Amino acid sequence: MASVCFRELKKNFGATRVLHGISLDIADGEFMVLVGPSGCGKSTLLRMLAGLEDITAGSIAIDDRVVNDLESKDRDIAMVFQSYALYPHMTVRDNMGFSLKLRKESGQRIDEGVAKAAKILNLESLLERYPRELSGGQRQRVAMGRAIVRDPKVFLFDEPLSNLDAKLRVAMRAEIKALHQRLKTTTVYVTHDQVEAMTMADRIAVMNEGRIEQLGAPLDLYDRPANLFVAQFIGSPAMNIFDGVLSNGTVEALGSRWPVSPAARGADGQAVKYGIRPEHLQLGRDGVPAEVVVVEPMGHETELLVKINDIDLIVVMHGRSAHVPGERIFLAPQAANAHLFDAASGRRI
Amino acid sequence: MNPRFVREARLWLIGIPVALWTLLPIYHIFLFSISTKDSAFSGRWWPDHPTLRNFGTVFRQEHFYLHNFWNQIWNSLWIACASGVLTLLIATFAAFAISRLRVRGGRTVMNMALFTYFIPAAFLAVPMYKAMATYGLLNSRWSLVLAMVTLASPYAIWVLKQASDRLPWELDEAARIDGATPLQLFRLVYVPLMTPSLVAIGTYALLLAWNEYLYGFLLLSHENTIPLAVGLGHFLAADDSPWELLMATALVYALPPAAIYYAFRRYMVGGLTAGAVKT
């Protein structure tokens, strides 16, 4: 178990700067998710922690010990790769015991370690199989087993679920989370999937273009996104965002007045982006008029795609809906849940 | 007409001439080797009195040109195996260093080695002779081994490098994190995964050396150091060459490569084409 600390970490690939001074503290036992679109630098950050990429500037410390110049194997970390990276010519048992074998542990110690990890992950019946004889989910579990066997200070996951189908992904998500709750090993988990980030993380670092846009607990990010990028990235379906102008404590946008949270500050006449999550747009007898374009019933909720002045918005209603395409409805946005961002800087107001 | 029939007919139309073209000389060798001296040039498709006596003569070394038969076939074997093993060692280490350790300048080295193929081997024969003379290796089997390794290595490195490039990079990273040194990575991960390509390349170098004539002729001249290929050439030195014995010896000489190729055919097709297409 260990804490991890990035200080002003920079990374250049040739002339291209991919990380612009990342500082981030990960507490002992924490499940930290790095999330962002592809190319945002999250995988590079993880690989630098793993010792697979050189550090251009700054430092990485594990348990207050700077590891910049340590080999991967001396950092006491274990990594699970997106492609599983299982050794194809070794059985599950040999795959899982490989690191112990390299450490020259005794045969008995290796067997014990493998047996323990196999029990945790329900792999006992698969130990003599080769990776090619396993399904995607089983391979991913073996990859996790290989990490567990080492009993490392930090687990690193690099998009481990991306190669799995949707149903399996949900199951493995829960499995990894349960595993973390059981082992309480510090974990750094990289994904581009904000649902994974939201459901698994203790804290999320949202990254974009080599910077951390916001760091916080999942629901804090959801409730108070610090800027437009985070607002758009976190949440599914995404937050509705459109241009408007502040005026007398409301926002004029799309030909209507939209209520604003009393906490929001800003000057009259200021150009803003108005953001509201789909579930916070309720239907009312009056309010902002809109036209229903598409109705998507999910069973437990219904998504309505509506149009106002040629701008598409999404409304999520709990339960079922009798609305039909072409119908005129009125939206009643909830002031307390409205988000305001400065149009120029994108920052939350 | 049935299009499948047309397609197959076309294949047969190409296949049959090619097969005949390839097999006729071999049949010719076989025909000579089971004929008596008098009937060897009879021009028939089958001798009147087929005999295996020629093979007996060869194996018992009962002819002037065959006095060193077993010695020479042993030389051929020794040279072929040594060339195969050495080429394999050099090419495997080189491909691993270039492809997996990404040694700086590795690609340049490989390309320069490949560039030597622009110069025909016959042109290189004289400088090679000179070099071997300088090192005092003439008439030593090592001279031919070294020459063959020189000729086979560039291609071997290239094929193995292409094959290594196709191994997932994450395996190396996983092994590094698991604590493997580069040598452990080589031994425990790289070599096992490269086995098909290694078998193919080893066989390629072995057969190349086994079949070599020019360099053997040039670098080795003692009756008891030359490989059988050169020994066969000596048959033609006489006005009245014993063709039936030459062909019987040639047939024996051709069997080991055929057997090796047959044994490793699974690897040959997959291994040698592995680097053919850049994927």
A337 at B interface, C-beta within 8 A = no
Cross-chain CB nearest to B176 (options A72, A83, A88):
A72
- Of all residues in chain B, the percent with pLDDT exceeding 70 is 96
The residue extents of the domains of chain A are 4-226, 240-342
Say if residues A7 and A45 touch (Cβ distance below 8 Å). no
Give chain A positions within 8 Å (CB) of B180.
Answer: 73, 102
Give chain A positions within 8 Å (CB) of B184.
Answer: 102
**Structure token pair of residue A318:** 């709990």
B174 and A103 within 8 Å at the Cβ level: the answer is no
The beta-strand segments (E) located in B88-152 are: none
Cross-chain CB nearest to B170 (options A71, A85, A146):
A85
B168 and A83 within 8 Å at the Cβ level: the answer is yes
* R_g of chain B, CA atoms, integer Å: 23
Say if residues B197 and B46 touch (Cβ distance below 8 Å). no
What is the band of B276 on the pLDDT scale with cuts at 50, 70, 90?
A: very low
**B 19-38: CB under 8 A from A:** none
Say if residues A29 and A186 touch (Cβ distance below 8 Å). yes
| pLDDT > 60? residue B277 | no
Domains along chain B? 3-59 (no CATH), 68-273 (1.10.3720.10)
pTM, to two decimals: 0.82
* R_g of chain A, CA atoms, integer Å: 24
The candidate with the shortest Cα–Cα distance to A13, out of A38, A36, A41, is A41
Residue B220 CB neighbour total at 10 angstroms: 22
CA distances from A316 to A58, A195, A326 (A): 45, 17, 17
Mean pLDDT of A24-41: 94
What is the band of B275 on the pLDDT scale with cuts at 50, 70, 90?
A: very low
**Structure token pair of residue B268:** 């040959």
B189 and A87 within 8 Å at the Cβ level: the answer is yes
**CATH number assigned to the domain with residue range A4-226, chosen from the 4 options 1.10.150.240, 3.40.30.10, 3.90.1150.10, 3.40.50.300:** 3.40.50.300
Domain A240-342 grouped into CATH 3.40.366.10: no
Mean pLDDT of B87-102: 94
Residue type, B180: A
The candidate with the shortest Cα–Cα distance to A211, out of A51, A24, A50, A16, is A24
What's phi and psi for B179, nearest 5 deg?
Answer: 105, 15
Say if residues A46 and A188 touch (Cβ distance below 8 Å). yes
Residue type, B106: G
Within 8 A by CB and 6+ apart from B248, the residues are B32, B33, B54, B55, B57, B58
Say if residues A92 and A135 touch (Cβ distance below 8 Å). no
| Nearest chain A residue to B172, by CA | A85
Q: What number is the ipTM of this complex?
A: 0.83
CA distances from A154 to A141, A158, A216, A326 (A): 17, 13, 20, 54
The candidate with the shortest Cα–Cα distance to A163, out of B279, B175, B100, B170, is B170
- Quote the mean pLDDT of chain A: 92
Cross-chain CB nearest to B177 (options A50, A83, A89):
A50
CA distance A214 to A233: 11
| Nearest chain B residue to A149, by CA | B178
A73 and B168 within 8 Å at the Cβ level: the answer is no
Tell me: the pLDDT tens digits for B96-147? 999 999 889 988 989 998 998 898 888 888 999 999 999 999 999 999 999 9
CA distance A171 to A141: 11
Containing H/E element for A69? Answer: none
Compute the nearest-CA separation of B175 from chain A (Å): 8
Say if residues B75 and B145 touch (Cβ distance below 8 Å). no
